[in-house]
Structure formats: C-alpha cells, structure tokens
Amino acid sequence: MEIFEQDLNNIKDYSNSSRSSLSKCLGVSLSVVDQFSQKKGPGAFNLNRFWEHSAGCGIASRMLAKIFGYRSGAEAFVADLLHDIGKLVIFQYFPREFDEILLLVNEEGMSFLEAERTVLDVTHPEIGWWFAETWNLPTELIDGIAHHHQPAAAENHPEIAMMVHLSGILCKMFQMGFGGDELIPGVAEDAVTILAKTHPMFHRTGDLNLDSYESRFKEEEEDSETFLSLIKAA
Ligand SMILES: [Fe+2]
C-alpha cells in the first residue's frame, strides 16, 4: 500500500496548507481529481462517466444551494464533487472486491451501497468520511461526504448532506454520468424537515418536487463540461 500512502500524503500536504477554507477545498478536490483520474481499476467501470456523474452532482448541488438560499454554492459544488470519493478508493485499491460489487449490482439488482456492505462490510460514505477527516476538510464537506445517503445523521450540517443527497437523485433522474448503479433512491424521509430550517418555502408547502428542477438543471449542466475537460486533460 505504499502508493496508497503517497496519494494520501500528496493530498494531505495540500489540505494542511494555510489557505482559506474555500480555496483549500478547491485545491483538495483538484488534487483528488489529479491523484485518482488516471488510475487503473477494473475495466468494466468507466471512470470518465464517474467524473461526469460527480461533476453533474456538483452542478446540481450548486443549483440547489441557490434555490434553498445556502450560503456558498462553491462549497456545495466541492462537497458533491468529492461525495463518492470512497468508491474511487475501492476502485483503485480493492479492484477484485470492486468487481464483485459490480457483479452484485448487475446480476442481483442491488444498489452499489448494498453491494459494498455485502462484499466489504463497509461503504463508500464511511471510507470517504475517514479520508475527509484525514485531509482535515471543513466539517461541511465531511458531512456532505459522510452522510449523503442518510442526511439526517449529519450532526453539524444536515442541510449540505441533504443537498448532496438530492443532487445524486437528480443526476440519476436526468441521466448524468454513472456513479455505479442506475437505481434511483427515494428522497430521505426527513428532507422537508431539514430543508425547512434553511428555506422558508418548505414551511409553507412541505413539498419537494424534484421533476420541477429539470429545465434549470439542464441550463446549468453546461458548466460541468468545462470542469470535465479539465479532468480529461489532467
Ligand atoms: Fe454515494
């Protein structure tokens, strides 16, 4: 695992630098992209489509941040860009297990999360959580990464975990890239309660209609092209 430690330290060096929180986040995410974008893993998994999904989720989270009045669209974008980093760790360092996970997804119809639990007894949010803490990322990003499948479990920033959660659903609904499976998860039960804390609209309507975001998402989606071209050029 020598290379693994090297990857970790390269990113850690950046995250320990004395930059502002947001530029540190952006620096860490570009460093992560750089460390993981060219790595080889199981052939059946298309890394370009994975980044397309991650960048699409970032764009969706930035859009939701504007809609819900969250203080930083850039923070939401970075949290979402990195939200599935745990999958890349499995892809790169546990290729045999990654293949087994894909097999369960494709042949048994399991979600990627369920299949991870079955094969590894640990999931990508848990792996990502450990990495995010090791890199000293801000707590907003840690919560977005660690709790995007269960936003209510986020102790400090459930609203950002919720945006990452919802953007994953939007990207699957609107077929943006591929994050490991095609199953569209349901919206977490407590979505409206969490969102109502930051966005007064939900106090009145109690409604969350993801279909209604499609045209706005398509408008913003073009921004992900720029980001993806940077990744492909890395
Ligand atoms: Fe995920």
Residue 217: band (very low, low, confident or very high) from pLDDT cuts 50, 70, 90:
confident
Helix and strand numbers, DSSP H then E, in the chain: 13, 0
Compute the distance from residue 6 Cα to the ligand 1 centre, in Å: 25
Compute the distance from residue 22 Cα to the ligand 1 centre, in Å: 22
d(C-alpha 118, C-alpha 101), whole Å:
8
Among 139, 158, 154, 148, which residue's Cα sits nearest to residue 54? 148
Going by the DSSP 8-state scheme, the letter that residue 151 receives in this structure is: G
Residues of the chain above pLDDT 90, percent: 35
CATH number at residue 184: 1.10.3210.10
Compute the distance from residue 113 Cα to the ligand 1 centre, in Å: 7
Residue 84 belongs to domain spanning: 2-233
- What lies within 8 Å, CB to CB, of 7 at 6+ separation is 35, 36
Compute the distance from residue 204 Cα to the ligand 1 centre, in Å: 30
Q: What pLDDT is stored for residue 14 in this prediction?
A: 47
> Nearest 5 degrees, angle CA 206-CA 210-CA 216?
120
Residues 72 and 204 sit within 8 Å (Cβ to Cβ):
no
Compute the distance from residue 24 Cα to the ligand 1 centre, in Å: 23
Number of domains in the chain: 1
- Weakest-pLDDT range from 21-35, 53-67, 129-143, 185-199: 21-35
What pTM, to 2 d.p., does this model score? 0.83
- Note residues around ion ligand 1 (Cβ under 5 angstroms): 84
What single letter denotes the amino acid at residue 191?
A
